[in-house]
Every structure is written in structure tokens, then in C-alpha cells.
Amino acid sequence: MNLQRAWRVAARDFRLGPRSPIFVYAILLPVILSFLISAVFGGLLDPDPRLGIVDEGASALTAAAEEFEGIAVSVLDDVDDLRNKVTAHDFDAGLVLAADFDQRVQGGGEAELEFYVSGSSLASNRIVLAMAANELVSDVAGEEPPVTVSVVPVGDEDFVPIGDRLLPIVIFYAVVIAALFLPASSLLDEREKHTLDAILVTPTRIGEVLIGKGLLGVIMGVSLGLVSLALNQALANRPFEVMLFLLVGSLMMAELGLILGSLVKDANSLYTSIKGAGVFIALPVIFIIWPTLPQWIPKLTPTYYFLQPVYDIAITGLTIGDFWLELIVACGICVVLAPVVFRIGRRAEIRLAWAS
């Protein structure tokens, strides 16, 4: 197995990709969906995160916050008023600074920082405000200070904005169209136009062709997944953990795409197969949008094991430690599919040899 030849196959597909409507469709669809969801439900074009501050001691943090770019800061006089406004979602979050806050952090003592979080705020806004608060406190102290942050959720804690709930749709199309459909259609196109016969006359073997086309799907799936998350302001929270699940999910979808591309007879059969399996592989999306449905059902589908972790890490703030079992299952599915891909590919190579 020569990986250099496999990479040449992938590079050739990347070079010729823009000529394919499916390639362009795979790139544009998640971008268009992101803008449509943002236009209808908010998110991409929302105003800056809104932070309310009650400052009981003229803290330098308040002045620094007012100059902080990308955050709308309002200073209030009363803690109860701040809490009510955060509860009503007039602010995404609120800070309460004690009268001796600056003296404590600058003197190396421990200080407490009350941080109210609106249950109705976007996850992306919460992340931005939490990171900004940490940076502002560090600036005041001159170093990483011993501050105890008391996070107080107010309002509906279980509320997730509909724009965030629809994010899995964008991720699903970004990964499935790019990682599954692109390798499948590319392999089928090579078979129908008999360019695969010409490739196999060279030293390049079918396994290297499959790896090259799988690379195309994995790179496109991960890239478009990250772009979609970034467009929806959902990449700030643990991007490397999100990228890991996107990588495993894209590999899984690429393997399924290569199996389809090796088995189907023509483009109509490919579209029919993907449409037929579409409801099954899209099942986790439905259960994320409507979380009151029985949550054991989507676990029967392979896409659950990367879609659910990506959503929960990006939106709800969970970590990879909460999804180690899902990661093991997803990797296990990839390992099981790998020999199936090469066995079916080998059989397709033998059929091509007999046909010629």
C-alpha cells in the first residue's frame, strides 16, 4: 500500500472537484443553511453579547469592560435589578463586584465574583462573556488571581434557543454530504466513465484509490463541519474536542460512502440509497431538536456517536470526558467498516478486470 499514490488520488479529486456540481453543493449547502437559520432564528447576525455589571466599589474591571470590544456593557446600581434583567433576558449575563474586589485580587487575597447567566441566552454568548470576564479579572490582578466564581443560572435553565437546537442540521449536512456523498459519487463517476480502469492499469491499486477518495471525504467533512460551527458562533468551546469527533464522524461517513460507491450500479441507485437511508442516519438530529423524545432511540444509529457529542460540547459546555463511551463506539464502527470497504473494493476491482 503506497500512501503517496493514495494522496495523489485525493489531490486529483480536489483539483477537479470544483467542476462537479456535487462538490460545489457540498460546500454551499451548510453555509446557506447557516445564514437561513440565523436570519430566521437569530445567531449569526445577533447583536453583541450583553453584560450587566453592578459595581459596589468603582472597580477597574468595570472601566476595562466598557472598553472591551464585542461586548455591550451596562452598569446598574442594584443587584436585584440586575438579576431581574438577566432573568428577563435583557442581559445575557451579569457581574456583581464587591466593594473591595480590586483590593483583594491585587493583594493576592481570595475574592468572590457573582456571575449571573441567563437561561435564555445563546450558548455562544455565554462562552464569550465567561472568557471575557476571566480576561478582565486577570488584567485587574496582573496575574491569574485566586477568584471564586459563583455562577448563578437565572430564568429557564433548560432553555436552549431554537437556533442552537437547529445547529445539528447544519452539521449533519456538512459532514454527510461532504464525507459520504462526495466519495461515493466520485467513485461511481470513475466507474461509469471507465477512468477507474485507466487508473488501475498504472501501479495504483484499488486500496490506494479508496484511501485517496476517503481522504477527500474526511478532509471536506471536517473542514465544512468546522466552518459551519464557526459561522454559527459555536466553535469557541473546546474546538479541539469538537474537531476530534468531527474527524471520527467524517471517517465513518467516508467509509459508508466508499461502500455505496462500490456497490451501486448508477447515479439513480446512489441517490435512491442515500434517500432511503437518510431518515435513519438523520435520526439523531430529530431527537436533539425535540429532547423530550425517548433518547435511547437515536443510539441505534451510527451518526449519533459523533453528532450528539459535537452538539453537546459546542453548545451545552460538556467535555470529551462525558463522551468517552461514544468516542469508543464511533472508533469501533470505523474499525469494523474498514475491512468491509477494502473487501468490497477488491471485488469491484476483480469485476472490472473480468469486464475488460
Q: What's the pTM value of the predicted model, to 2 decimals?
A: 0.70
Count of CB atoms situated within 10 Å of the CB of 4: 7
How far apart CA 162 and CA 270 sit, in angstroms, is 33
**Phi, psi dihedral angles at 227 (to 5 degrees):** -60, -45
pLDDT band for position 46 (cuts 50, 70, 90): low
Predicted local distance difference test score (pLDDT) of residue 44: 47
DSSP-assigned beta bridge partners for residue 152: 116
Predicted local distance difference test score (pLDDT) of residue 233: 72
The residue type of 238 is: R
How far apart CA 24 and CA 34 sit, in angstroms, is 16
Q: Superfamily assignment of 50-154 in CATH?
A: abc type-2 transporter like domain (3.40.1710.10)
Residue 67 has pLDDT above 50, yes or no: yes
How far apart CA 90 and CA 84 sit, in angstroms, is 9
- 3-state percent helix, strand, coil for the chain, nearest multiple of 5: 70, 10, 25
Residue 278 has pLDDT above 90, yes or no: no
The pLDDT tens digits for 124-162 are 666 667 777 777 777 666 555 555 555 455 555 454 556
Task: Spell out where the chain has E strands.
Answer: 50-55, 72-76, 93-97, 111-118, 147-154
The residue type of 219 is: I
Q: Return the axis-axis angle of helices 3-16 and 206-231, rounded to nearest 10°.
A: 50
Q: What count of Cα atoms within 13 Å lies in the side-chain half-sphere of residue 294?
A: 4
Give me the residue spans of the domains in the chain: 3-40+162-355, 50-154
How far apart CA 154 and CA 325 sit, in angstroms, is 32
> What is the average pLDDT value for the chain, to the nearest integer?
80
